[in-house]
Chains A and B, each alone.
Chain A
Amino acid sequence: MSTWTRKTDYPILTRRIPCWPFGDPKGRRTISIDEYMKPPAEMGWDTRAGTLAGYESLRKAITTYSPDELVEVVKKANLRGRGGAGFPAGMKWSFLPKPDANGDGGQRYLAINADESEPASFKDRLLMDFDPHLVLEGIAIACYACRIQTAYFYIRGEYHHQAKVMENAIREAYARGIFGKQGLLQGAKTKNRDQAWAVDVHLHRGAGAYICGEETGLLESIEGKRGWPRNKPPFPAIKGLFGRPTIINNVETLAHVPSVVEMGPEWFAGQGCNSSFQGAPPSWGTKLMGVSGHVNRPGVFECDLGIPLRVLIEGKDYCQGMRGGKKFKGAIAGGISMGVLGPDQMDAEMDFDIGRKYNVLGLGTACPTVFDEDTDMVAVARNIARFYKHESCGQCTPCREGSGWLYQLLCKIERGDAKSKDLDLALEVATSMGTMPGTTICGLADGNNWAVRTIMNKYPVEFEARVKRTYVQVGLTVGVG
């Protein structure tokens, strides 16, 4: 067992949602706006991540900072995006064009990515289910910082219940004058030339398409089109929704913003870990990690970034070991597109450096699915390939066709009908589509590639045992003619 100890011994994102390792999930309920707006001490919530009542971080943000100062705060906190890529949110916000001199730069949009569709990812659901106002407060602060007046909360179609909770929370917030045309917080004067800043939030439901989680696919979907990703550049910060500058942030990223504003970037830097690579950006803050698969206690945990996967799986405060005492065979790094951590990589630190250190694509959503020794990794690869075949949007030929061929090859290998040259062919297909070879618009095929390649490379024996040998005739013709 590793000697890792957590730096943050109190809940931040989950202080109103009982959640391991800080509380027992039994008795969770959706926090109403009345409860949310009470001081945490009065409600019995942990105050180490801030004593301000709900929406008071928003008040602090708009009354003590100008929009540009606020972007600097988030930049300084190095709050990296929690949706998969780990791109620093403050940096993203600073890419928006500066509004012109009279302050009227036309419409700018915020799109919140709650299209949590990647298999194995389910951590944002927790926030939407139980603490919707935390997310809304983050949205309000982000809108002020980026001078945005309209936000679309893009929630996946399958989240019926969560859509209702969010819709209700938005209604509650409007009724209290937090959103609406009078300006944030009943038209409070902001530090932006003493004017009120009005923000509208709309819920937009998707309808069952994974690709709409890709940021430009998401924008197309809000515009009422198929979720076909757009060519970049122009990047959404310049030309996004309805052709206007647009910021796209993940739910959890925005949920971090209120406490960063209240407690400051230095506090945020005290959680998580620094990068072990010189000059690389740090992995500060806590992260919601959703563990599923063959563990005793699957669920969402709030952890410092950098927690070793072994602690997450074996720790008594976390998953309490492998189900049935079985041996660890591997784990999806965090959403299937990130690839698989092999049997010898259980000590991998769950931070944004994981990709460079352990030959996976990245941390992703930090939602590992854990496999025990009885898992058939060929079937795992086939399942993943089927997902990508199903969800390929069909826009780029290499992905549309390649994902289908890859699925067929893996089915053939699983059935035992394949030859060893089919393994080479599968690997070849899994390297020739995607943005990294430069043959597709978006990264969907890269996810497919990394998942299939890492599984094939980390469990070669299983694949080789399933195929018939291909004998290549090496001929020497002697003495003929």
Chain B
Amino acid sequence: MAWITKNSAGMKIPRRSEPYLTEALKSELTRTILPRYETRRGALLPTLHAVQHEWGWIPWQALEEVAAFLNVAPAEAWDTASFYEEFWLQPKGTNVIAVCRSIACEVCDHKKITQACKEKLGIEVGETTDDGKFTLVELECLGLCEGAPACLVNEDMHMCATPESITKAIDQAKNAPSHGHGHHH
């Protein structure tokens, strides 16, 4: 739910000395992204995408750094980041399996796909495996309706999925080298 925000009082913020928004990232963003927008804040979504791509998720410290970089208050960066479901404000697994649960997939029995993932990974929806390799989520419509039931394995579309095909895709993802971001758990 987009409108549920942080639990402000009891929040502990882990910090580290080296920044998440590295100088390399900053100069890349300054060169390619900032000139595209009339305001610095306009670059917030692309910046958050870049941070998440680099680290696998967006820690609070990174949000503060992004806020400073774009001249907005940390609360404004949080306000935006917390609204969008795709931004992970907690660590997630190296691989994300997202099963579509919207109408076309539900009437084409998406439940058996979710069930197969749960059994294969030994976790419930919304959980991450102990080794930090997989997170399983159910999302609203992925726009792959003609191939219902459908899911995303990381960024790859899987259409007309079956329990067998998704189990196989999970095995492939497990054995594949990390898909891009240097996520540290």
Q: Which residues from chain A sit less than 8 Å from chain B, CB to CB?
A: 107, 116-122, 125, 156-161, 200, 202, 204-211, 221-227, 242, 244, 290-294, 298-300, 332, 336, 367, 369, 371, 375, 379-380, 383-384, 387, 389-395, 400
Q: Is the CB of A226 within 8 A of B79?
A: yes
Given contacts A120-B141, A387-B140, 7 further A-B contacts (CB under 8 A): A120-B104, A121-B145, A158-B142, A298-B147, A298-B148, A380-B107, A390-B140
Taking CB atoms, residues of chain B closer than 8 Å to A293 are: 104, 107-108, 145, 148
Closest chain-A Cβ to B138's Cβ sits at a distance in Å of 10
A389 / chain B contacts, CB cutoff of 8 Å: 1
Q: Which residues of chain B are near A125, meaning CB under 8 Å? A: 143-144
Contact B146 A292 (CB under 8 A): yes
A118 in contact with B41 (CB, 8 Å):
no
Chain A contacts for B108, CB-based, 8 A:
292-294
**Number of residue pairs spanning A and B whose beta carbons lie under 8 angstroms apart:** 158
Residues of chain B with a CB closer than 8 A to A208's CB: 84-86, 139
CB-CB < 8 A to A107: which residues of B? 38
Q: Which residue of B lies closest to A242 (CB)?
A: B38
Given contacts A206-B45, A290-B146, A390-B1, contact A224 B80 (CB under 8 A): yes
Q: Is the CB of A224 within 8 A of B41?
A: yes
Tell me if B75 counts as interface (CB < 8 A to partner A). no
CA–CA, A393 and B155, complex, Å: 25
Q: A332–B148 Cα gap in the complex (Å)?
A: 15
In the complex, which of the residues B48, B140, B157 has the most CB atoms of chain A within 10 Å of its own CB atom? B140
A224 in contact with B103 (CB, 8 Å): no
The reply to whether A209 and B85 contact each other, CB–CB distance below 8 Å, is yes
Residues from chain A with Cβ under 8 Å of B140 in the complex: 117, 119, 210, 387, 390-391
Which B69-109 residues have C-beta < 8 A from chain A?
A: 70, 72, 79-80, 83-87, 101-104, 106-108
Q: Is the CB of A209 within 8 A of B141?
A: no
User: Bound state CA distance, A299 and B104, in angstroms?
Assistant: 12
Q: Are A383 and B102 in contact (CB under 8 A)?
A: yes
Q: Is the CB of B145 within 8 A of A117?
A: no
A400 neighbours in B (Cβ, 8 Å): 3
Task: Determine if A299 and B48 form an interchain contact, defined as CB atoms under 8 angstroms apart.
Answer: no
Contacts of B72 in A (CB 8 A): 224
Residues of chain B with a CB closer than 8 A to A291's CB: 146
Query: Which of B43, B103, B146 touches A332 (beta carbons < 8 Å)?
Result: B103
CB pair A120–B145 under 8 Å, yes or no, is yes
Say yes or no: A160 contacts B155, CB within 8 Å: yes
CB neighbours (8 Å) of B46 from chain A are: 204-205
The answer to whether A369 touches B143, judged by C-beta atoms less than 8 angstroms apart, is: no
Whether A242 touches B39, Cβ cut-off 8 Å, given contacts A119-B140, A226-B79, A332-B103, is yes
Contact B102–A227 (Cβ < 8 Å):
no
Task: Give the CA-CA distance A224 to B72 in the complex, in Å.
Answer: 10
Q: Contact at B106–A383, with CB atoms within 8 Å?
A: yes
Closest to B83 in A: A226
Judged by a CB distance under 8 angstroms, whether B36 is at the interface is: yes
Q: How far is the CA of A354 from the CA of B132 in the complex (A)?
A: 50
- Quick check: is B42 within 8 A (CB to CB) of the other chain? yes
In this complex, the member of B85, B103, B106, B155 whose beta carbon has the largest number of chain A beta carbons within 10 angstroms is B103
Question: What residues of B have a CB within 8 angstroms of the CB of A387 in the complex?
Answer: 102-103, 140-141
- The minimal Cβ–Cβ distance linking A446 to chain B, given in whole angstroms, is 18
Q: Is the CB of A384 within 8 A of B103?
A: yes
Q: Is the CB of B143 within 8 A of A379?
A: no
Mark contacts of B157-175 with chain A using CB atoms, 8 A cut-off: 1 yes-contact digit, 0 otherwise.
1000000000000000000
Q: How far is the CA of A320 from the CA of B49 in the complex (A)?
A: 42
* Minimal beta-carbon separation of B19 from chain A (angstroms): 20
Decide: A207 near B45, CB < 8 A? Known: A125-B143, A224-B80: yes
Q: How far is the CB of A171 from chain B (nearest CB, A)?
A: 12
**A336 proximity list for chain B (CB < 8 A):** 102-103
A383 partner residues in chain B, CB cutoff 8 A: 101-103, 106
